Amino acid sequence: MASSSSSPPARRSVFDAAYIRAEFDAAGISPSFIPAIWKYVLQNPRCSDLDGVPSLSAAAYALLRNKFRPTTSTLTAAAESKDRTTTKLLIRLQNGESVEAVIMRYDSRLGKYDGKTRPGGVRSTLCVSSQVGCKMGCRFCATGTMGFKSNLSSGEIIEQMVHATRYSQIRNIVFMGMGEPLNNYTALVEAIQVLTGFPFQISPKRVTVSTVGIIHSINKFNNDLPNINLAVSLHAPDQDIRCHIMPAARAFPLAKLMNALQSYQNASKQTIFIEYIMLDGVNDQEEHAHKLGKLLENFKAVVNLIPFNPIGSASTFKTSSDQSIKKFQKVLRGIYSIRTTVRQEMGQDIAGACGQLVVSLPDERSAGGATLLSDIEDLRI
């Protein structure tokens, strides 16, 4: 008989939580050992095998050798911004695709609390990707130009954290990298449940998930991910402008989205973070600020105004002037009493700022202009 030429199935990441638990159960091995395996990999991020994990049974070691790898992704490049506040990681997945993750270092002492300078010092936030590319096609976003390629497994999401710990102790995680997190919902939930448990132990209050507004997933979010922050990429105060700059918004009418967010907030009691990219002459006029203020007047929300990052010559949008941004902020704060911040961009010189993540090696197209700033996760009403 001719021998089969098919190759054995690829070994999976030990951080694919549901898969490793199922394999341990099937082999009659207690899943209680799994967090110790994760701790070993976290403490030895360059390890090539799992034979060094202490105190497992022979059956467990055999299972790990046959079916799992410490990490299935590899860190292929790391670019540091000139001011050293931002590090962009290029990570190659087992399927040959690549994603980016960004470490942002903030100084909590630059923020104020009750009028006083905050205690603490420099802390790091990791911006992680949930997909290779994105199918949302937002016209102001570099990732959208890639199109959608694939979902990340929960293990591949978590491995971005493992790679990042080689550079910095991570305090906060934001799902604001490549992809629409709520379009990879099962892997997202599984990854966050691992990251908020042992050995990572990130506080749920320090995890933020950003979405363009996938309504059916928002409806499940509080039950599946209690105490996790939700950020909504609103970017426009009405449906027409939203559809113009975010084609996927046609599937999520603004009125229905706001109803879903109201239900979410009623159940969760959580502040909602509203992300709003400032595009010159498109959505940045005073009339737009008033419309946004009225849209949010019944919400407990923080609005984060994001100066647009040019993503190359193909972009038809321009960045709003500082004057327009300040006027917009003044309307929301002064008339509607909505807490409104302006995002200071980090990592623009390494294409690591908001809207710039598209798999590429860094170039020198702009001088590093990022500064230490207070962290979005520290914003509390």
Q: Write out the catalytic residue numbers.
A: 100, 354
Amino acid at 198: F
Size of the chain, expressed as the number of residues it contains: 381
Amino acid at 179: G
**78-107 in b/e burial notation, b at 16+ Cβ within 10 A?**
bbbbeeebbbbbbbbbbeebbbbbbbbbbb
DSSP 279: B
Return d(Cα 185, Cα 197) in angstroms, integer. Answer: 18
Amino acid at 336: Y
Return d(Cα 129, Cα 240) in angstroms, integer. Answer: 28
**Residue whose C-alpha is closest to residue 282's, from 235, 315, 232, 327:** 235
Return d(Cα 105, Cα 200) in angstroms, integer. Answer: 19
Cβ-based neighbour number of residue 155 at 10 Å: 27
Beta bridge partners, 232, equal: 211, 274
**Residue whose C-alpha is closest to residue 362's, from 371, 353, 370:** 353
